[in-house]
Amino acid sequence: MKHILFGGDGFVGRHLAQRLVQDGEQVVVADIAKSDLPHYGRAEFLQTDVTDRDAVARVPIAPGDMVYNLSAKMLSPLQVRAKRHDFFFPVNYHGTVNIIEAMDRAGARDLVHFTTDMIYGHTVVTPMTEDHPVAPLGEYGLSKLKTEELAAEWREKGMNISLFRPRLIIGPGRLGILEKLFKLIDANLPVPMIGSGRNPYQFISVFDCAEAARLAWKAGVPNEAYNLGSLNPPPVRKLLGDLVRHAGSKSLLIPTPAWAVKKTLDLFDALNMPIMDPEQYLIADEECVLDVSKGARQLGWVPKYRDEDMLIAAYSEYRAKRTGKTAPRGFAQPAE
């Protein structure tokens, strides 16, 4: 049996590939580009564009293989409104179609597939369980929701598909929207919050995501969806305040009227000058906390890392890049 990781050179995939290799598993990474990673001494790499049906078909999937779809276009870099559908759907949806159809032709039945919490849209009930209503607020969330609908169709045909819906994934190698925050803090500039900052904000570590995928395989690939998020996320005000103090910055946290900020960001978006993606700012003042207890019950998965430690580690990496120093790999303290 092989572990075939589509998007396996990406953010989550490289950590999952490394863990599987360390466990002595046979790993094939199918991705559009190859990084200089040490586990390629024991893992096979196949250059694969998931949007190319023929390229996906050339990946040597066999009956009994374990397949992971970690390929995705994310909310960063920002896209103007008119280009979002064509940016997200080829990889996120059509790429998933190509992978599942290739599995079907090969007789492979087991897939772990990552979607996003953005399929939920606005908060209706908190904390959000996996049966929370779905109403994505943009093309990214919609592209991922369509893959969940696709998964439901293939489950009826005999496939086993475990779905994961992570919050904002952070860890070594990805800053994304956080880089804007870190620049303000480094410059001792005010840090505006959308709303009062009393609502919690939840991350999930890249390491916890990789472990969830591994545990789904170990559990026999349940036909279920699982939220991925940290435990006990702190309010935005505390999260950012702790970071400002850690950085030794003089930045002040500025609460703002959420409705006014959203209207302003809507205007910039309509003018094709997006500052944030609507799927990010429209829920920024809401209590978007995922209930992750289902993963604990069914997979034995419990997130290890705290939001505070993840944010400080990301800031440390940002500072290290600016100063030319080596950033620490990983996070400081696992949650109990």
pLDDT tens-digit profile of 99-129?
999 999 999 999 999 999 999 999 999 999 9
Q: Write down the pLDDT at residue 325.
A: 63
Distance CA(197)–CA(285), nearest Å, equals 7
| Residue 334 reports pLDDT greater than 70 | no
State mean pLDDT over 153-160: 97
| Residue 248 reports pLDDT greater than 90 | yes
Residue 52: CB atoms within 10 A of its CB come to 14
Beta-carbon contacts of residue 147 (< 8 Å; ≥ 6 apart): 92, 93, 96, 113, 115
Q: Write down the pLDDT at residue 174.
A: 78
Q: Which helix H or strand E contains 30, and what residues bound it?
A: strand 26-31
- Parse the chain into domains and list their residue ranges: 2-171+202-229+288-304
pLDDT tens-digit profile of 209-233?
999 999 999 999 999 999 999 999 9
Q: Write down the pLDDT at residue 7.
A: 97
Cis before 234? omega within 30: no
| Residue 173 reports pLDDT greater than 80 | no
Closest C-alpha among 190, 188, 183, 186 to residue 253: 190
Distance CA(129)–CA(188), nearest Å, equals 38
Q: Tell me the CATH number of domain 2-171+202-229+288-304, given options 3.30.70.270, 3.40.50.300, 3.40.50.1980, 3.40.50.720.
A: 3.40.50.720
Distance CA(89)–CA(146), nearest Å, equals 9
The answer to whether 208 and 236 are in contact (CB under 8 A) is: no
Q: How confident is the model at residue 326 (pLDDT cuts 50, 70, 90)?
A: low
pLDDT tens-digit profile of 63-79?
999 999 999 999 988 99
Mean pLDDT value across the chain: 94
pLDDT tens-digit profile of 260-302?
999 999 999 999 999 999 999 999 999 999 999 999 999 999 9
| Residue 335 reports pLDDT greater than 50 | no
